[in-house]
């Protein structure tokens, strides 16, 4: 659909107001816009239902923005992989309402849109494109096994000096990998631990 290709409509999976659970902004209220469509294919993804964009109705960005503006001053665009689509129209409309725009992305597609905060969460099977590394405010690496710590250091070498570094245990193996992360952060204190606090709080 042309309107989707141009970013004037987006395959909206869900949108909801909640407390942000992860990373730098954890514990703060935000309105989440979850866009369908992702071919990165992480086996541990907890929103696999977001992968197929065709099952999520194309929704006009005017409707999305109106609902967002009525909910919160901080808007988090996530997925799926939101950069599958052109984010310029959505973020321009959000900014026109005076809203803060945040994105959670693997960086696997070109960066589009106007962002106050970029959380880059790179994946081994579809690495970020080089330009986003220098623009990321936050690097969040999901740790499923010990090798992910090596991957994290490789990714950290590419981001800008002000980027905040996080290691986050993958939820299904959290009891196994959390001690590894704690030990690693204590030895490499440039890193911080991120937890999925929303799952502990049993909120979306």
> 75-122, pLDDT tens digit by residue?
999 999 999 999 999 999 999 999 999 999 999 999 999 999 999 999
What is the CATH code of the structural domain delimited by 2-200? 3.20.20.70
Each domain of the chain, given as residue ranges in start order, spans: 2-200
At residue 6 the predicted structure's pLDDT band, cuts being 50, 70 and 90, is confident
Whether the pLDDT of residue 68 is over 90: the answer is yes
pLDDT at 17: 97
Order of strands, sheet of 74-78, starting from the edge strand that comes earlier in the sequence: 58-60, 9-19, 29-35, 74-78, 100-105, 117-120, 138-143, 164-169, 191-193
DSSP structure class, residue 174:
H
pLDDT at 8: 94
| pTM: predicted TM-score of the whole model, two decimal places | 0.95
pLDDT at 122: 97
């Amino acid at each position: 659909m042309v309107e989707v290709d141009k970013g004037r409509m987006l395959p909206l999976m869900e949108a909801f107001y909640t407390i942000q659970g992860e990373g730098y902004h954890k514990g703060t209220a935000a309105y989440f816009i979850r866009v369908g469509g992702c071919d990165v294919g992480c086996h541990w993804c907890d929103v696999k239902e977001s992968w197929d964009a065709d099952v999520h109705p194309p929704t006009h960005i005017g409707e999305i923005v109106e609902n967002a503006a009525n909910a919160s001053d901080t808007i988090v665009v996530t997925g799926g992989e939101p950069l599958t689509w052109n984010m310029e129209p959505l973020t321009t409309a959000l900014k026109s309402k005076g809203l803060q725009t945040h994105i959670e992305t693997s960086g696997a597609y070109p960066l589009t849109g106007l962002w106050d905060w970029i959380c880059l969460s790179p994946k081994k099977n579809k690495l970020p494109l080089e330009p986003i590394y220098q623009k990321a405010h936050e690097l969040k690496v999901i740790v499923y096994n010990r090798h992910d710590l090596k991957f994290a250091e490789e990714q950290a070498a590419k981001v800008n000096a002000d980027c905040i570094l996080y290691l986050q245990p993958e939820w299904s193996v959290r009891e196994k990998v959390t001690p590894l992360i704690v030990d690693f952060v204590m030895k490499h204190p440039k890193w911080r631990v991120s937890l999925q606090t929303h799952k502990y709080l049993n909120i979306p």
